[in-house]
């Protein structure tokens, strides 16, 4: 349920409500505005009477949240959530672009690509160091060695790092290197991993499962938010349908639907959505037009010889062209890309 405090309610009244929430075996989540505080009481609280909280000093009203995903719902948090990351914002009028290779293959490779995407307008660098491959015999990533190369790329370019985490055991090591955890489609309902990420305070780029509904995605994100990690970005990366012309089917509908249902930022991944570099720019433009708050795209300096996902990777030249096209679309819908000078 959602407990709305009187404007200007003093700290002791807020603490009194929190104490009662804990007394009812629920967890509290606070949204503090300039004039008013809202406290979410989350858990198996269907048996708890609203009147218990309505009688407390400082409480203006109590409302039950109808959506099964409580903290992710716009009913709980009406305003868009905005996260700050290295001098730019996610979830505001700015549209950041995350770019880089599917896999970190070598030091020279990631340094070259990092410099290229920065010059073309990227705001963050992506790269996989643990690779979940269909075949157990395929390249599985460089592990911590790859993270060291990514950290060097960040030092040289200033780009924050977005890296996929695959297991709970990887979190302590990756926290030393990574600015944003990516949680991949195959792990969307890995609840132990979600709970562990929720205990961190590292921002999360949370990808939709390839066969997941929008509600299932939001319910899964609730595991992270309920643990206290509220900086979650939802990512539409295509879903599996009967269509085989592309690797996946880009659910453009999901972007405005998510923007209606949740306050969390929504990112579009046109690379995995299509699986073909020929379609990546078009889907990126469509995503921004539909209201996406950011783009994550795969870029490789030599896609033909990439260890993984070369077919869907843009060359640096194609990426630079995409950035210009996306900038025009963003301006047409009263948004803008993050200017290079705004970054730290």
Flag whether pLDDT at 88 surpasses 70.
Answer: yes
For range 132-153, the mean pLDDT:
87
Query: Which of the four pLDDT bands, split at 50, 70 and 90, describes residue 131?
Result: confident
What's the pLDDT at 46?
Answer: 65
Look over the chain and give the mean of its residue pLDDT values, rounded to a whole number: 94
- Tell me the pLDDT band of 343, cut-offs 50, 70 and 90: very low
More confident residue, 132 or 214: 214
For the chain, percent of residues with pLDDT exceeding 90? 85
Q: CA nearest 144: which of 114, 112, 170?
A: 170
Q: What integer pLDDT is reported at residue 344 of this predicted model?
A: 38
pLDDT mean over 257-277: 98
Please determine whether the domains at 2-63 and 83-342 fall in the same fold group of CATH: no
Beta-carbon contacts of residue 33 (< 8 Å; ≥ 6 apart)? none
Per-residue confidence (pLDDT) for residue 132, from 0 to 100: 67
236-264: average pLDDT: 97
Largest distance between two CA atoms of the chain: 67
If you average pLDDT over residues 193-218, what whole number do you get? 97
pTM of the entire predicted model: 0.91
CA distance linking residue 215 with residue 72, whole number of Å: 11
Query: Taking residues 38-50, what's their average pLDDT?
Result: 83
CATH placement of domain 83-342: 3.20.20.70
Taking only the tens place, the pLDDT of each residue in 208-246 is 999 999 999 999 999 999 999 999 999 999 999 999 999
φ/ψ region of 228 (left if φ > 0, alpha if ψ in -120 to 50, else beta) reads left
Instruction: Give residue 133's pLDDT.
Output: 67
pLDDT of residue 45: 61
Higher-confidence residue of 134 and 332: namely 332
Q: What is the mean pLDDT of residues 175-181?
A: 97
- Residue-wise DSSP of 204-255: EEEEPPTT--HHHHHHHHHHHHHTT---EEEEE--B--S--SSSSB--TTHH
Taking CA atoms, 18 is separated from 33, 42, 112, 168, 227, in Å, by: 17, 11, 51, 30, 16
CATH class of 2-63: alpha beta
User: By the 8 A CB rule, do 334 and 291 touch?
Assistant: no
Which residue ranges make up each domain of the chain? Answer: 2-63, 83-342
Per-residue pLDDT tens for 288-333? 999 999 999 999 999 999 999 999 999 999 999 999 999 999 999 9
How crowded is the C-beta side of 338, counted as CA atoms within 13 Å?
Answer: 27
Average pLDDT rounded to a whole number, residues 176-185? 96
**pLDDT(341) > 90:** no
């Amino acid at each position: 349920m959602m407990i709305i405090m009187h404007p200007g309610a003093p700290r002791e009244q807020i603490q009194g409500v929190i104490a009662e929430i804990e007394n009812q075996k629920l967890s509290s989540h606070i949204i503090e505005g300039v004039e008013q505080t809202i406290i979410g009481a989350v858990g198996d609280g269907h048996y708890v009477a609203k009147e218990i909280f309505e009688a407390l000093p400082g409480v203006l009203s109590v409302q039950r949240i109808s959506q099964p995903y409580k903290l992710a719902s716009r009913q709980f948090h009406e305003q868009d959530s905005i996260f700050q990351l290295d001098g730019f914002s996610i979830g505001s009028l700015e549209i950041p672009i995350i770019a880089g290779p599917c896999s970190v293959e070598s030091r020279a490779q990631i340094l070259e690509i990092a410099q290229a995407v920065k010059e073309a307008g990227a705001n963050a660098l992506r790269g996989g160091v643990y690779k979940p491959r269909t075949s157990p015999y395929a390249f599985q990533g460089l592990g911590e060695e790859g993270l060291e190369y990514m950290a060097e790329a960040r030092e040289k370019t200033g780009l924050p790092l977005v890296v996929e985490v695959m297991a709970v055991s990887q979190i302590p090591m990756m926290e030393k290197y990574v600015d944003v955890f990516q949680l991949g489609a195959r792990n969307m309902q890995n609840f132990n991993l979600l709970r562990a990420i929720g205990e961190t305070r590292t921002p999360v780029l949370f990808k939709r499962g390839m066969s997941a509904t929008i509600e299932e995605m939001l319910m899964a994100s609730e595991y992270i938010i309920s643990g206290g990690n509220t900086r979650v970005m939802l990512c539409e990366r295509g879903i599996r349908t009967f269509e085989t012309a592309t690797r996946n089917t880009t659910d453009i509908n999901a972007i405005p639907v998510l923007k209606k249902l949740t306050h969390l930022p929504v990112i579009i991944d046109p690379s995995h959505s299509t699986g073909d570099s020929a379609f990546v720019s078009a889907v990126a433009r469509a995503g921004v037009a539909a209201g996406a708050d950011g783009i994550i795209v795969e870029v490789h300096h030599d896609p033909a010889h990439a260890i993984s996902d070369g077919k869907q990777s843009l060359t640096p030249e194609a990426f630079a062209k995409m950035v210009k096209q996306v900038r025009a679309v963003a301006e047409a819908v009263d948004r803008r890309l993050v200017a290079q000078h705004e970054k730290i």
